[in-house]
């Protein structure tokens, strides 16, 4: 856990994956992230397996370094607590629809009255100036509409979802980046602002950055779609004992590879040395790799391609990723030793900083685990806090439950 955002307070209304992934980065960088949940908690808590009834494995992997307060936002007393939280906060972040935020009293136009210099960043499914502004959206919906499912079609041409909540995580990164940029702007100018990070528009731009291709120009100079990635022969190649990613890319790498596999004459062809012409004929080269790949084992390819500095990798199953030699050496997993939930692995952030190390990371919280602590920091007395709990405005986690 780094301390680069130490002193920054984030009021976090995010749920499921997209928003929690974004706010977890803020917590990893040292911000005080206060996760505001309904009394029943974030719905993603229920996804199993999990170390406790209210902490599923998925929830744990997207909510470390946060404190949880459970508030019924449909009650006026709950909205009053939110106002107190925001008064003393730097950032509000959420991933709900605009009308939903308005109904809960947490829209930007409502909260900037409480905190004029507030950094407010949010991620709906669709941009608020479009016809689908208040339509529901989850990762699968955006994979479908952004072209991902079609690009990931199976051998019969049927569209397939990528087996990852890819859109949630990519948009979550954009959302976290918007918070960081807005904080820098506020530091320089004193101005707060609202930044909207819509899922579909973000993912469409993400996908088309390379695939707009010939349609980048007017009139178009070729089809939409990055030619190299559209090749039917671009795939992990079957070897004598498994599968490998084999990827000569530069001119020098292609020439060295072709010489390695005995294609000396082809290596000397002018079109192989010409990046544009090689790009137009990339399918031929990938087909050649497929033909020669079966002649060596994975170990032989690793040795031979490593010797001539051509990028390659053995295809790992998910179960093999943790044992990857690079990841084993650098340490992908850390462990929380927690008496309440037992040993709990977490995925270490990949950032490597030469300074700014802060406190040790904390596991994902129980529902309302920090409700009393947060309310005390707002200046409420024990009797006031207990009254809010008794009235079901505030929820708290009881350790012996």
Give the tens place of pLDDT for each residue, 293-328: 999 999 999 999 999 999 999 999 999 999 999 999
* Average pLDDT value for residue range 243-270: 98
pLDDT in tens, 160-201: 999 999 999 999 999 999 999 999 999 999 999 999 999 999
Please give the Cα distance from 354 to 337 (Å, whole number): 26
Q: Is a pLDDT exceeding 60 seen at residue 400?
A: no
- For 119, phi and psi rounded to 5 degrees? -90, 120
Task: Report pLDDT for 358.
Answer: 75
Q: Retrieve residue 221's tokens.
A: 């100079």
Q: Residue 247's domain is classified under what CATH number? A: 3.30.1540.10
Domains in the chain: how many in total? 2
In a domain, 35, yes or no: yes
Between residues 11 and 355, which one has the greater pLDDT? 11
Share of the chain above pLDDT 70, in %: 100
Task: Report pLDDT for 355.
Answer: 81
Confidence of residue 135 (pLDDT cuts 50, 70, 90): very high
Q: Retrieve residue 123's tokens.
A: 């991620």
Between residues 13 and 358, which one has the greater pLDDT? 13
Please give the Cα distance from 122 to 124 (Å, whole number): 7
Share of the chain above pLDDT 90, in %: 93
Q: Retrieve residue 32's tokens.
A: 């005080």
In a domain, 212, yes or no: no
Confidence of residue 357 (pLDDT cuts 50, 70, 90): confident
266 and 364, same structural domain? no
* Average pLDDT value for residue range 369-385: 98
Q: Residue 79's domain is classified under what CATH number? A: 3.40.50.10540
In a domain, 344, yes or no: no
Question: Distance between alpha carbon 234 and the CA centroid of its chain, in Å?
Answer: 26
In a domain, 227, yes or no: no
Task: Report pLDDT for 401.
Answer: 45
In a domain, 332, yes or no: no
Task: Report pLDDT for 106.
Answer: 98
Between residues 233 and 109, which one has the greater pLDDT? 109
Confidence of residue 338 (pLDDT cuts 50, 70, 90): confident
In a domain, 337, yes or no: no
Task: Report pLDDT for 354.
Answer: 86
Q: What is the pTM of this model?
A: 0.95
274 and 138, same structural domain? no
User: Coil, strand or helix: which one is 229?
Assistant: helix
Task: Report pLDDT for 340.
Answer: 79
Task: Report pLDDT for 301.
Answer: 98
128 and 190, same structural domain? yes
74 and 163, same structural domain? yes
153 and 293, same structural domain? no
User: Range with the lowest mean pLDDT among 99-103, 200-204, 265-269, 333-337?
Assistant: 333-337
120 and 66, same structural domain? yes
147: left (phi over 0), alpha (psi -120 to 50) or beta: left
DSSP 8-state assignment for residue 359? S
Q: Is a pLDDT exceeding 90 seen at residue 48?
A: yes
Domain hosting residue 247, numbered range:
237-314
Q: Give every CB contact of residue 192 below 8 A, 6+ residues apart in sequence.
A: 112, 115, 116, 117, 118, 119, 120, 182, 186
- Mean per-residue pLDDT of the chain: 96
Q: Is a pLDDT exceeding 90 seen at residue 362?
A: yes
254 and 171, same structural domain? no
């Amino acid at each position: 856990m780094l301390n680069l955002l130490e002193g920054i307070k984030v009021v976090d209304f995010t749920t499921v994956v997209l928003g929690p992934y974004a706010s977890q980065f803020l917590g990893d960088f040292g911000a005080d992230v206060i996760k505001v949940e309904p009394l029943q908690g974030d719905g993603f808590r229920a996804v199993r397996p999990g170390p406790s009834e209210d902490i599923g494995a998925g929830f744990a992997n997207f909510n470390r370094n946060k404190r949880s307060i459970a508030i019924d936002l449909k009650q006026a007393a709950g909205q009053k607590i939110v106002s107190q939280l925001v008064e003393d906060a730097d950032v509000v972040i959420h991933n709900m629809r605009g009308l939903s935020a308005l109904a809960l009293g947490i829209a930007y136009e409502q909260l900037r009255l409480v905190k004029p210099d507030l950094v407010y960043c949010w991620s709906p499914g669709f941009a608020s100036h479009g016809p689908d502004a208040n339509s529901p959206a989850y990762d699968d919906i955006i994979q479908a509409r952004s072209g991902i499912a079609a690009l990931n079609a199976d051998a019969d041409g049927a569209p397939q979802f990528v087996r990852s909540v890819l859109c949630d995580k990519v948009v979550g990164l954009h959302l976290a980046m918007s918070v960081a940029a807005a904080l820098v702007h506020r530091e320089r100018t004193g101005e707060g602002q609202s930044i909207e990070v819509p899922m579909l528009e973000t993912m469409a731009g993400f996908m088309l950055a390379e695939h707009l291709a010939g349609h980048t120009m007017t009139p178009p100079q070729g089809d939409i779609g990055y030619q190299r990635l559209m090749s039917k022969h671009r795939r992990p190649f079957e070897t004598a004992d498994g599968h490998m990613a084999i990827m000569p890319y530069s001119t020098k790498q292609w020439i060295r590879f072709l010489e390695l596999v005995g294609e000396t004459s082809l290596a000397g062809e002018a079109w192989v040395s010409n990046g544009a012409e090689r790009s137009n004929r990339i399918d031929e080269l990938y087909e050649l790799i497929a033909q020669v790949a079966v002649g060596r084992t994975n170990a032989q390819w690793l040795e031979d391609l490593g010797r001539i500095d051509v990028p390659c990798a053995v295809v790992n199953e998910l179960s093999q990723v943790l044992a990857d030699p690079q990841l084993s050496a650098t340490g992908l997993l850390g462990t929380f030793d927690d008496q309440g939930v037992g040993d709990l692995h977490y995925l270490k952030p990949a950032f490597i900083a030469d300074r700014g190390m802060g406190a040790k990371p904390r596991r994902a919280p129980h529902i309302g685990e920090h409700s009393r602590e947060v309310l005390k920091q707002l200046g409420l007395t024990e009797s006031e806090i207990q009254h809010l709990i008794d009235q079901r405005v505030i929820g708290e986690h009881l350790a012996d439950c």
